[in-house]
Chains A and B, each alone.
Chain A
């Protein structure tokens, strides 16, 4: 399925109190959609760490759902975070993995084993409570609400097509200032 269409489904399904963290290609596409104060565009990032930021937010805000839109290259850099998430019992955390098999922002070089990694099995093995996988947009659109409201931690593996030749995300502004605005939004 086209990765932006898959992301649009989450954009339409997220609740007004939900935190949504996006990184890499997901961040680029998310920034083309209407923004909310509880959006955390994780650009600049540390490699692969969007899931870890999500875990911290989920623990600090247990009454909110935290949705992390991550890429497969990023996920491979921080697979251990799935174990940390499950071990911490972050039931309000959703990891949506956009798997396009490439490092898209650097020019679509393949990840180490594209098409060979069973991310659903990894998430189950790490201890995630709910695990889903979707390859077809219609099926994903039909089920997005259901998957986001299942007992967590939740892992959603979305097989998407890379957007060839599209530049990577650009920071939407100084991160320190965005951090302050985000914290204020959580308090209000």
Chain B
């Protein structure tokens, strides 16, 4: 739906200093473009729970991080999200891929469609789901609103298959 250069340029414009990430087949290809930016650094981690806590450390240290993961990794991240967003009250923002939202060709009956939004609601994350390229501007709008309010938030990017 979005290209790597589009996302990379936007994140740099928004002042994101570090993108902490585990890839999937949609957001993973964005990495190359992010790595080419001068003011945004890519930080690869092994598992998504790590991403939130690395972002927490970056935020405590004065940086402006963003977590970029798939919804499957959101499910893995529960304890870290609870700790970072609700114990330590750090306003970490995330871009999360929503697997199988646009089609279920590779994973018919994908349970990501059952659990993603309830899990986001359970963790009290203020999120916007983007389903069309024309909604690109919503990323900056929601990011900026969350930053101004110093609250966590997420953009959920609808994906096709796994």
Contacts and interface: CB of A to CB of B under 8 A. Distances in A.
Contacts of B84: 46
A88 B50 contact: no
A84 B45 contact: yes
In this complex, the member of B44, B59, B88 whose beta carbon has the largest number of chain A beta carbons within 10 angstroms is B88
Nearest to A176: B89
Given A52-B45, A52-B54, A55-B57, A176 B88 contact: yes
B140 to A, nearest CB: 23
B49 A49 contact: yes
Contacts of A61: 61-62
B83 A57 contact: no
B46 A83 contact: yes
Interface in A23-65: 40, 44-47, 49, 52-61
A52 B47 CA distance: 11
B59 A56 contact: yes
The secondary structure that dominates the A interface is helix
A52 B53 contact: yes
A74 to B, nearest CB: 12
B63 A59 contact: yes
A84 B44 contact: yes
Nearest to B20: A56
Contacts of B45: 52, 80-81, 84
Interface residues of B, number: 33
A175 interface: yes
A53 B62 contact: no
A56 B57 contact: yes
B49 A60 contact: no
Contact of B80 (A49, A83, A88, A187): A49
A49 B78 CA distance: 12
Contacts of B88: 175-176, 179
In this complex, the member of B18, B54, B58, B62 whose beta carbon has the largest number of chain A beta carbons within 10 angstroms is B54
A58 B61 CA distance: 8
B97 interface: no
B89 A46 contact: no
6 nearest A-B pairs in the assembled complex, by CB-CB distance: A56-B57, A60-B61, A80-B46, A52-B53, A176-B89, A46-B83
Interface of A: 40, 44-47, 49, 52-61, 78, 80-81, 83-84, 87-88, 175-176, 179, 182-183, 186-187
